[in-house]
Amino acid sequence: MRRSRSLLLSVAAAVVAAGMALYAVTPASAAATTATFAKTSDWGSGWQGQFTITNGGSSDMTSWRVEFALPSGTSVGSYWDALLTTSGQRYTFTNREYNGRVAPGQSVTFGFVGSGSGSPTGCLLNGVSCNGTVTPPTTPPTTPPTTPPTTNPPSGTTPVAKNGQLKVCGRQLCNAQGKAIQLRGMSTHGLQWYANCVNDSSLDVLAKEWNADVLRISMYIQEGGYETDPAGFTAKVNDLIEKATARGMYAIVDWHMLSPGDPNFNLARAKTFFTTIAARHKNKTNILYEIANEPSEVNWSSIKSYADQIIPVIRAQDADGVVLVGTEDWSSLGASGDGQGVSRILANPVNASNIMYTFHFYAASHDDYYLNTFRDAIAKLPMFVTEFGTQQASGDGGNNFAMAQRYLDLMAQNKVSWVNWNYSDDMRTGAVFTQGTCNAGAYSGTSRLKEAGVWVRDRIRTADDF
């Protein structure tokens, strides 16, 4: 957002241990282990589940395979810390390269999001019963194929269950089946100030009542953000990714650099952070990476140079996550400068697949000139609006709902995804909740919403065309 906000969010960098080679598990070791299932959260139409595999033997377990069935109407959506193959309603999870070895007395976990009300049955761990934790199957499991089978279309009611892993096809954001889709959702405010506004209760409202498809997790770098506590802010981002995943929403990891405006100033920090985030969440199907919020006072060639160095860092961990690249002049496609940003990108595009370019607007400040710049861009480039407001560019002042609706109509016609700023109770008009809402924990309904909050809630709640 091109304004001096007292916002921050910081994310830290951690390291992921290198994986170990996989070996065959011995029957004695397998028989002495348990695989215990628990639903860690449940929201009616779906749930988040976790298996804990404990080695009760006397020697290392060097690989594991957990198989189970789900009843008709229940399916697995996103998952993490495992690999998955499916055959009808039977699901087989195997270890990743980094968590196959389990020492005696130690445990590892993997998790996934389920849609529907059913639970796993007929659990097998390395071909034998999970020690009676669930009913053994009446028929033997299918031996996992040597090559991955064709992925079944996602099923379920959440955005991620319906759409699966996103990809860029041509100029469109497409779901796993190649259908162009539009995501609509909200951005957090700076987590250093407004982390209390994004919790289980508020995100339940956002996912179930607002019907949001996507949560943008805005982590400021300077302004009291990431650089002040890398590990602490990384942990906050990880937690919100898990919360969004549990509710079947997509999560945009927003590297919210604002001042200084040159993304290269934070290049080393960005490499550390995105390596950590991508390594941890690479098996999820709901992660998008926004690598530079609002570059400013820097030319496109510098932004591209930054993207050319950060994208390979992400791809080394996550081969297929969609990457969102900021544009000139506070992600205005150069409209806040000389207006030639689209031409410069076309002449020198980022040389990577599965990327989109970002555009930000504030309807009370950004008139037809900005709208026409954006219109030109979506005819030529894959675009994603990762931040907009109905008020002025400061995130405050009066709302221009008529102009904002013109932008939304254009995005709907062209299936351009968007995220609104912001899901907090900041004093500015751009925050959806009235002050004191987050401390009170009263998020449901419209009585605690500002005028802009009521307006954007209505537009997120309309039916998706998935």
Catalytic residues: 294, 387
Decide: 287 and 241 in contact? Cβ < 8 Å.
yes
For residue 307, give the H/E element and its range: helix 300-315
Tokens read off for 174: 């497409």
Decide: 81 and 16 in contact? Cβ < 8 Å.
no
Question: For the CA atoms of 436, 437, 438, 439, what is the dihedral angle to 10 degrees?
Answer: 50
Torsion sign, CA atoms 235, 41, 47, 32 = positive
Pairing of strands 128-129, 167-169: unpaired
Residue closest to 206 by CA, chosen among 221, 219, 217, 190: 217
Cα separation, 22 vs 101, whole angstroms: 8
Name 97's Cβ contacts closer than 8 Å, sequence gap at least 6. 19, 20, 21, 22
Torsion sign, CA atoms 397, 401, 407, 412 = positive
